[in-house]
Amino acid sequence: MTSTSTAYDVAAVRADFPALRAGAAHFDGPGGSQVPRQVAEAVAATLTAPIANRGRLTEAERNADDVVLGARAAVADLVGGDPGGVVFGRSMTQLTYDLSRVLAAGWGPGDEVVVTRLDHDANVRPWVQAAAARGATVRWADLDPATGELTPEALAAVLSDRTRLVAVTGASNLIGTRPDVPALTALAHEAGALTYVDGVHLTAHAPVDVAALGADLYACSPYKFLGPHLGCVVAAPSLLETLRPDKLLPSTDAVPERFELGTLPYEMLAGTTAAVDYLAALAGAGGAGDRRARLLAGMAAVEAHEDRLRERVEEGLAELPGVTLWSRARHRTPTLLLTWADRPAAEVSRALAGRGVNAPAGSFYAIEASRALGLGDAGGLRVGLAPYSDDVDVDRLLEGLRAAG
Ligand SMILES: Cc1ncc(COP(=O)(O)O)c(C=O)c1O
C-alpha cells in the first residue's frame, strides 16, 4: 500500500533521520527513538563552540548558561510547565530514585504510597524501596488484564487519608494504555497525596499539559522523543523549594539546580532543545503562534499520523492466525504488544530482525504489567510507531509477520 494523503509529510521527516539510511524498519521507538540530524548537529555545535562552566562573564560561560536555560524553556514548552521547575538528570530512573528518597524523607510508619501494576518499574521500585526504608506501606492499584485499563475505581480502592504519594504512568510502554490521568490525579489530590506521573512514553506520542494532567511531578526522557539520552522532571518551583536533597556544600541551593548534582551535560541539553524545536516544526502549515502552540499542533499531527499507521497494523494483525494483541485499552498510544500461541515472541523478533524489521521482544521493564497480563517475565513482541514510521515500514512488518506465521 502506498501512502494516503495526509498533511503530515513523513517523507520529509524521514529525510532528516540519517539512521534510517541503514535500511531497517524501526518499530523499536518505545525503547528509544532515532534522532534527526538537527539534534545531532546541535550536540556537535555545543561541543565545538567555546564551553565552560555556567556563568555570564566569558563567551564560553554564557554558552553553557544559555544552553541550560534554553533547554529548561524548551521542555517547559513541550509539557506546559514552568522553566524554573525543569530538573535534568542522567535518566528518568535516576531522577525518580533521587526524588523518591527526598520525598520519602518525610514518610514514616502509617504513611502509604500507591504504585500501579501498569507502570514501568522505574515508577514502581524506587517508591517501593523508599517506602520500605521509611517503614511506610505500599498499596497497589491493579491493572485489569482483560481490558488493559487502569481505572479510577482501581485507584480509589487503595487510596486513604494516609496516602502521601501516587505514582502513575501517563501511558504504558508495554501495551500503550493511556489511563484517565486527570481523574486519577484528582482522586489522589482529594486524598491529600502528591502525584508523580511517568510521562516517558506519553510525551513521545501526544500533546502534554502537566496542569491538565494534574501531575505535581512529571518525568520524561528526551531520548524517547527524538532527543539525546537523558531524563527530566518537571514540577512547580514552589513544590521543589520544599524539598531538600543531599547536595555538595558549595553547590547552589537554588531551584531547580539543587537537584542537579555536578555539571550538566550541556551538549545533551542543546540536543534536547533541538528535539523540541523539531517536534514544534512538525506542525507544518498548521503551526502558528509561539513554540508551545506549535508543539501542541505538532504533537497532534504526530498522534494522528501514528494512529493511522496503528490502525493499519491492527487490520493486518486481525488476519494473522494464532496472534494475541494485548493492547486493548480504549485510549492508547500506538504501541502494540503481541504474543503467539505456538512460539515465543523472541523467536518472531529474531525472524523479523533477519528481514531488517526491528521489533524487540520482552517485558521492557514493565514487569508488573507483564505479570498481571499473565505473560510472566517474557512479555511479548512490541511494535511501536514513531514520527518517522511510514506505510512502507508497516508493509514490511506485516509481510514479516505473515512469513513468520
Ligand atoms: C514508561 C517508561 N518509564 C520510564 C522509563 C525509564 O526511562 P529512563 O531510561 O530515562 O530511565 C522508560 C524507558 O523505557 C519507559 O518507557
Q: Which of 75, 88, 120 to mutate to test the pocket of ligand 1 (most atoms within 8 A of CB)?
A: 120
Distance 93 CA to ligand 1 centre (A): 7
Atom index in ligand 1 nearest the CA of residue 96 equals 11
pLDDT in tens, 2-50: 334 447 999 999 999 999 999 999 999 999 999 999 999 999 999 999 9
Q: Could you tell me the CATH number of the domain that includes residue 379?
A: 3.90.1150.10
CA dihedral (297, 303, 308, 309) positive or negative: positive
pLDDT in tens, 137-183: 999 999 999 999 999 999 999 999 999 999 999 999 999 999 999 99
Tell me 118's DSSP state. S
Q: Could you tell me the CATH number of the domain that includes residue 76?
A: 3.40.640.10
pLDDT in tens, 228-256: 999 999 999 999 999 999 999 999 999 99
pLDDT in tens, 64-100: 999 999 999 999 999 999 999 999 999 999 999 999 9
Helices 59-79, 291-318: inter-axial angle, 10-degree rounding: 60
One domain, residues 27 and 57: no
One domain, residues 392 and 250: no
Amino acid 6: pLDDT: 47
Distance 95 CA to ligand 1 centre (A): 11
Amino acid 9: pLDDT: 96
One domain, residues 84 and 176: yes
One domain, residues 167 and 245: yes
One domain, residues 262 and 319: no
Which stretches does DSSP call E strand in 10-162?
25-26, 86-89, 112-116, 137-141
Range of the domain at 361: 22-34+300-404
One domain, residues 256 and 350: no
Report the alpha-carbon distance of residue 94 to residue 12 in Å, rounded: 35
Is 12 within the bounds of a domain?
no
For residue 288, what pLDDT band results from cuts at 50, 70 and 90? confident
Is 10 within the bounds of a domain?
no
